[in-house]
Amino acid sequence: MSWLGIIVVALGAYFAFKVVKFVFKLLWWGVVLVGAYWFFAPMLGLPALDTLVFDALGISANKS
């Protein structure tokens, strides 16, 4: 492999690592936001998280 190929592979690995790090950061922010909504929604009079999910998916939320 030439030196140019080594540089391209190194840059590809570097950017792949950066992309994976960014995706994990997005996932953790999503977990934090969903957790905050789950915790604070009842106090603020907002619909519960399960109600939002069931409505978005079109599933009946009857618990009887």
Residues in the chain where the model's pLDDT stays below 50: none
Question: Per the structure block, which two tokens stand in for 61?
Answer: 């939320």
The answer to whether 51 and 61 are in contact (CB under 8 A) is yes
Amino acid at 42: P
User: Cα 63 from chain centroid?
Assistant: 28
The pair of three-digit structure tokens given for residue 14, joined into one six-digit string: 């570097």
Give pLDDT, residue 63.
Answer: 62
Alpha-helix residue ranges (DSSP H) falling in 1-64: 3-44, 49-57
User: What is the per-residue pLDDT for 9?
Assistant: 95
Cα–Cα distance, 18 to 12 (Å, whole number): 10
